[in-house]
């Protein structure tokens, strides 16, 4: 199986990062959300790889088939891992497509490394610019919310993930946009993550402010967010990210939940294909 080995930096030891490639053509890296892995992109990888697009998807450290170190789940290290993948594959003019937590990797990568090797970036249901509650983001996470989430993960991670999955896809007593089988699949992907990575990443994506990183983006940007997202509400995320990146194209998916890569997969695939193949 294909792996890259990251460099040892400071007190963060080198690890193996798993990735897969599909198709040939325009290079695109897909960055998954929490607590999933690269397999969440199944419907995008299958479709986009048919259209002259080289789809590259990897598992974040601690998730999927990548190594599970005890540390290194801060965004500086995660951005370094992304840079290692781009360097290993000798990519230039590569597009970055992220989901949710992955927005932090994209933003911090650009904050640290710039856009020289990039062509375009897409933020889908992203946690950017900052998920913490503030006057500017009254719907954001409080310390109490973060602590409660971590407590639930610690006590019974499978039970927490089962409930989280339903909210993720907008499932309730009157609305069933995905099958039980898909929820089971989602649960299996989530349980491939390590508990330590899952907990540390909650701190990372809840407490990190990416506002300054976003303001450094000088390449084409697509922002997609569902207005029924209950995991990362649009008012403090998609709307705020669009305000910080004035030149971005912003698409709001009406009535779409957080997990729109499944519930709106055909529309998402079309919008991503249009964005990736458009000439600048």
Residue 141 has what pLDDT? 85
Tell me, what's the pLDDT at 193? 98
- pLDDT (tens digit, 9 = 90+) per residue, 31-58? 999 999 999 999 999 999 999 999 999 9
Contact of 271 with 20, CB cutoff 8 Å: no
Q: What is the DSSP letter of 73?
A: -
Whether residue 62 contacts residue 68, with contact meaning beta carbons closer than 8 Å, is answered with yes
Give the single-character DSSP code of 60. Answer: P
**From 74, 80, 213, 229, the catalytic residue:** 229
Catalytic residue among 32, 38, 59, 100: 100
Helices within the chain (DSSP H only): 42-48, 75-88, 102-113, 143-168, 180-190, 195-207, 211-214, 238-244, 260-263, 265-277
Quick one: which of 102, 111, 52 has its CA closest to 204? Answer: 102
pLDDT under 50 in the chain at which residues?
Answer: none
Please, which residues have CB within 8 angstroms of residue 79's CB and are 6 or more apart in sequence?
A: 105, 108, 109, 111, 112, 113
Indicate yes or no: pTM above 0.85. Answer: yes
126 is catalytic: no
- Is position 100 annotated as part of the catalytic site? yes
Which residue in the list 32, 38, 225, 258 is annotated as catalytic? 258
Identify the structural domains of the chain with CATH numbers, from first to last.
3-277 (3.40.50.1820)
Record the tokens describing residue 255, joined without a space: 């009535």
* CA-wise closest residue to 60 among 21, 111, 125, 16: 16
């Amino acid at each position: 199986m294909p792996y890259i080995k990251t460099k040892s930096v400071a007190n963060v030891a080198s690890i193996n990062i798993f990735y897969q490639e599909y198709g040939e053509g325009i290079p695109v890296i897909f960055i998954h959300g929490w607590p999933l892995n690269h397999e969440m992109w199944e419907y995008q990888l299958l479709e986009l790889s048919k259209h002259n697009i080289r789809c590259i998807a990897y598992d974040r450290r601690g998730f999927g088939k990548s190594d599970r170190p005890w540390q290194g789940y801060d965004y500086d290290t995660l951005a370094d891992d992304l840079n290692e993948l781009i360097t290993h594959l000798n990519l230039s003019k590569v597009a970055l497509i992220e989901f949710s937590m992955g927005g932090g990797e994209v933003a911090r990568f650009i904050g640290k490394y710039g856009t020289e090797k990039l062509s375009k970036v897409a933020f889908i249901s992203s946690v950017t610019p900052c998920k913490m509650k503030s006057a500017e983001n009254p719907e954001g996470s409080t310390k109490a919310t973060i602590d409660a989430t971590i407590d639930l993960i610690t006590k019974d991670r499978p039970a927490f993930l089962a409930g989280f999955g339903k909210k993720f896809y907008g499932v309730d007593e009157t609305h069933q946009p995905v099958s039980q089988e898909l929820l089971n699949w989602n649960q299996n992907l989530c349980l491939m993550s390590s508990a330590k990575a899952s907990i540390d990443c909650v701190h990372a994506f809840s407490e990190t402010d990416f506002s300054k990183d976003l303001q450094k983006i000088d390449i084409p940007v697509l922002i997609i967010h569902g207005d029924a997202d209950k995991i990362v509400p649009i008012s403090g995320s998609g709307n705020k990210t669009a305000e910080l990146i004035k030149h971005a194209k912003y698409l709001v998916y009406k009535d779409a939940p957080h997990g729109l890569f499944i519930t709106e997969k055909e529309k998402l695939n079309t919008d991503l294909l249009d964005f990736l193949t458009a000439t600048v």
